């Protein structure tokens, strides 16, 4: 069975009430019946223009209620859906289209020029680029549009029947190599991720559970929320803006009950309410906040709950694109310092020695490994990376997370104590140090560089990148380095946490950076000279 057929067989009883809602324009909405019909129209329309089974179809767009509905339609047509970051710089956009093997691309008009340029470099013909015109319907000559796809004859739709191992989606994720990889999920894996949630009771009425999504939809959390909507577990409000004030105002306006936030947003919302920018009751409708993406301070979660509904809870969710949820503090599971809860149904955990892969006993730190029927298949055409991520232990296939931790026998929860791999998250976005390091080393006057993370500035929460720079050219400033990365790579990858100018970078005899020794360089820094903490790119960061 294919994934969209599975969703359509498990919809809600109420198929007429508004279910997918534009948070800024609530009149723009779809019921479940309209959703199901739209998926079929998309599938027919895509086949009519030549999309074939196993073709990868990417989307480059800001958030929209049709974003993942298009994804479901791509799957129903036999294609592979691949969400791509709309805010990637040209070199990143080219790489994303290349590693996903995107044969077709839907793109929101404001990103059209960048996508056309990147598509040309990877060999995607202009005829295979379609305008995703849900927000801006200004006609672009020479391009087919999503609106035209929606004119297809639904009666021509015939469900495809193919092996559950058939590729369903490709999501971009960064690994220790420093460049994004395309993690491929099968239809069977996606169905397995949904199945445990079908046992949960459907809300009556559907409007009693109102979920708000603001995180950029290329992140897999968008898939999660769209899927929950399709199986009738909540009403889904989609917001295009991502600033704390807009989020708080939207929660107030629609009496939102459920939301997923990354740690930085938790802290920004708390600070905003503490400072009286909005009434303390502004988010009092919230019953559940799922916090995911990176480490969050427990005191901020306690503060957040004070502003929520009387019985409201802020739960921690620990997961990976390749696996979905690995552990969480679900209802009834206490939130404990350093812990991320228990694995959901169907997920197995294993703590191993990262060098020998031998299983370790409870309460002993090692690398966290996990497995489930919803696990990814591998990285597209990247056998080396797949072999590093998926390992055989006791005749079972396990995903190595790269995170350090242990199972606490006394607390009966998974404890996270650090990271073995070098990547880290800023908000919900992963930053691979090597990518930034390579870009900086291209610049004249910089002889060596190392990127790591630091606790974000007060009021931000989470992490920010921090760069150590060896620059014989004394004219290079910290601000120039931040602006260069923001312009050439991405604003969230810029070393806004600080730029430390130093005499040398600690390395092993094999030339590998000894990242554990980097913090020692901070003690030798003269902040009155070139080094600086907590900078802001002069480029536009409104989408973050």
Q: What is the pLDDT of residues 27-75, one digit of tens each?
A: 999 999 999 999 999 999 999 999 999 999 999 999 999 999 999 999 9
Q: What is the mean pLDDT of residues 361-376?
A: 96
Distances 19 to 75, 198, 492 between C-alpha atoms, Å: 21, 17, 33
Assigned domain for 9 exists: yes
Q: What is the mean pLDDT of residues 322-339?
A: 85
The C-alpha atoms of residue 498 and residue 531 are separated, in whole angstroms, by 8
Q: What is the mean pLDDT of residues 169-175?
A: 80
Return the exposure string of 368-393: e unless at least 16 CB atoms fall within 10 Å of the residue's CB, then b. Answer: bbbbbebbbbbbbebeebbebbbeee
Per-residue confidence (pLDDT) for residue 331, from 0 to 100? 66
Per-residue confidence (pLDDT) for residue 89, from 0 to 100? 84
How far is C-alpha 179 from the geometric centre of its chain's CA atoms? Answer: 15
Per-residue confidence (pLDDT) for residue 541, from 0 to 100? 44
What are the respective helix, strand and coil percentages of the chain, to the nearest 5?
Answer: 30, 25, 45
Which tokens hold the place of 408?
């606490």
Assigned domain for 218 exists: no
Residue 175 has pLDDT above 60, yes or no: no
Residue 186 has pLDDT above 80, yes or no: yes
Domain edge (last residue) among 201, 234, 259 = 201
> Domain total for the chain?
2
Which tokens hold the place of 342?
């228990």
Per-residue confidence (pLDDT) for residue 509, from 0 to 100? 40
Question: Which of 181, 173, 168 has its CA nearest to residue 80?
Answer: 168
Cα atoms in the 13 Å half-sphere on the side-chain side of 407: 18
Residue 242 has pLDDT above 50, yes or no: yes
- Give the number of residues written for the chain: 544
Assigned domain for 519 exists: yes
Per-residue confidence (pLDDT) for residue 357, from 0 to 100? 95
Higher confidence at residue 244 or residue 420? 244
195: burial class by Cβ within 10 Å (0-12, 13-18, 19+)? middle
Per-residue confidence (pLDDT) for residue 284, from 0 to 100? 98
Q: What is the mean pLDDT of residues 369-386?
A: 96
Peptide bond between residue 205 and the one before it cis (omega within 30 degrees of 0): yes
For residue 170, the domain's CATH number is 3.40.50.12780
Which tokens hold the place of 101?
């093997």
Q: What is the mean pLDDT of residues 231-239?
A: 97
Residue 510 has pLDDT above 60, yes or no: no
For residue 502, the domain's CATH number is 3.30.300.30
Q: Map residue 492 onto helix, strand or coil.
A: helix
Percent of the chain whose pLDDT exceeds 70: 95
Per-residue confidence (pLDDT) for residue 543, from 0 to 100? 37
Assigned domain for 330 exists: no
Domain edge (last residue) among 145, 168, 201 = 201
Q: What is the mean pLDDT of residues 12-38?
A: 97
Could you tell me the pLDDT band of residue 539, with boundaries at 50, 70 and 90?
A: low
Higher confidence at residue 142 or residue 541? 142
Which tokens hold the place of 402?
């790269």
Q: What is the mean pLDDT of residues 441-463?
A: 88
Helix segments in 80-185, DSSP class H: 90-100, 112-122, 146-149
Per-residue confidence (pLDDT) for residue 296, from 0 to 100? 67
Which phi and psi (to 5°) does residue 181 adopt? -120, 155
Does the CA dihedral 357-363-369-373 come out positive or negative?
positive
Domain edge (last residue) among 201, 220, 237 = 201
- Segments forming the whole domain that contains residue 430: 424-533
Q: What DSSP state is assigned to residue 359?
A: B
Please give the full DSSP string across 197-236, using - where no structure is assigned.
Answer: GGGSPPPSSGGGSEEEE-S-TTSHHHHHHHHHHHTTS-EE
Per-residue confidence (pLDDT) for residue 199, from 0 to 100? 86
Assigned domain for 8 exists: yes
Assigned domain for 278 exists: no
Assigned domain for 496 exists: yes
pLDDT tens digits, 473-491:
999 999 999 999 999 999 9
Which tokens hold the place of 436?
């930034």
Mean pLDDT (the chain, rounded): 91
Which phi and psi (to 5°) does residue 397 adopt? -90, 125
Assigned domain for 367 exists: no
- Would residue 232 be called left, alpha or beta, if left means φ above 0 and alpha means ψ between -120 and 50 degrees? left
Higher confidence at residue 299 or residue 11? 11
Percent of the chain whose pLDDT exceeds 90: 72
Sequence-distant (6+) residues with CB within 8 A of 221 are 213, 215, 260, 292, 428
Q: Which residue is associated with the tokens 């708000």?
A: 212
């Amino acid at each position: 069975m294919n994934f969209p057929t599975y969703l359509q067989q498990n919809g809600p009883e109420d198929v007429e009430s508004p279910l997918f809602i534009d948070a800024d324009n609530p009149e723009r909405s779809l019921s479940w019946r309209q959703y199901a019909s739209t998926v079929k129209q998309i599938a027919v329309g895509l086949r009519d223009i030549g999309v074939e089974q196993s073709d990868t179809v990417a989307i480059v767009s800001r958030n929209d209620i049709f974003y993942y509905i298009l994804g479901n339609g791509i799957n129903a047509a036999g294609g592979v859906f691949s969400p791509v970051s709309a805010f990637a710089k040209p070199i990143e956009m080219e790489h994303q289209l290349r590693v996903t093997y995107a044969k077709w691309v839907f793109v929101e008009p404001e990103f059209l020029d960048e996508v056309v340029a990147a598509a040309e470099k990877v060999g995607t013909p202009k005829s295979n680029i379609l305008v995703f015109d849900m927000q801006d319907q200004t006609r672009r000559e020479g391009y087919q549009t999503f609106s035209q796809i929606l004119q297809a004859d639904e009666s021509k739709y015939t469900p495809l029947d193919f092996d559950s191992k058939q590729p369903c989606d490709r999501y971009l994720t960064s690994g220790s190599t420093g460049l994004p990889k395309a993690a491929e999920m099968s239809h069977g894996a996606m169905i397995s991720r949904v199945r445990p949630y079908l046992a949960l009771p459907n809300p009556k009425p559907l409007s009693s559970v109102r979920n708000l999504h603001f995180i950029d939809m290329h992140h897999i959390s968008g898939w999660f929320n769209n899927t929950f909507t399709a199986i009738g577990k909540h009403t889904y409000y989609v917001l295009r803006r991502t600033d704390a004030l807009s989020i708080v105002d939207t929660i107030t306006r629609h009496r939102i009950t459920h939301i997923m936030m990354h740690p930085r947003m938790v802290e920004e919302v708390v600070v905003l309410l503490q400072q009286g920018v909005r009434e303390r009751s502004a988010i009092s409708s919230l019953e559940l906040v799922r916090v995911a993406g990176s480490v969050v301070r427990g005191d901020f979660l306690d503060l957040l709950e004070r502003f929520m509904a009387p019985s409201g809870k802020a739960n921690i969710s620990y997961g990976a694109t390749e696996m979905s949820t690995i552990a969480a503090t679900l209802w009834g599971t206490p939130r404990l310092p350093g812990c991320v809860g228990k694995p959901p149904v169907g997920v197995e955990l294993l703590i191993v020695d990262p060098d020998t892969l031998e299983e370790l006993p409870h309460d002993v730190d090692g690398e966290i490994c996990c497995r489930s029927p919803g696990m990814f298949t591998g990285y597209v055409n990247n056998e080396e990376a797949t072999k590093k991520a998926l390992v055989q232990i006791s005749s079972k296939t396990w995903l190595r997370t790269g995170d350090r931790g242990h199972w606490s026998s006394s607390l009966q929860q998974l404890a996270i104590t650090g990271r073995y791999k070098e990547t880290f998250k800023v908000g919900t976005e992963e930053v691979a140090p090597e990518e930034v390091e390579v870009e900086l080393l291209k610049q004249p006057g910089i002889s060596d560089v190392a990127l790591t993370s630091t606790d974000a500035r007060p009021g931000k929460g989470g992490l920010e990148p921090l760069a150590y720079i060896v620059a014989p050219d004394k004219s290079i400033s910290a601000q120039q380095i931040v602006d260069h990365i923001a312009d050439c790579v991405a604003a969230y990858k810029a070393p806004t946490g600080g730029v430390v100018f130093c005499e040398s970078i600690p390395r092993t005899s094999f030339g590998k950076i000894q990242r554990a020794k980097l913090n020692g360089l901070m003690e030798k820094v003269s902040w009155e000279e070139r080094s600086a903490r907590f900078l802001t790119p002069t480029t536009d960061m409104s989408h973050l």
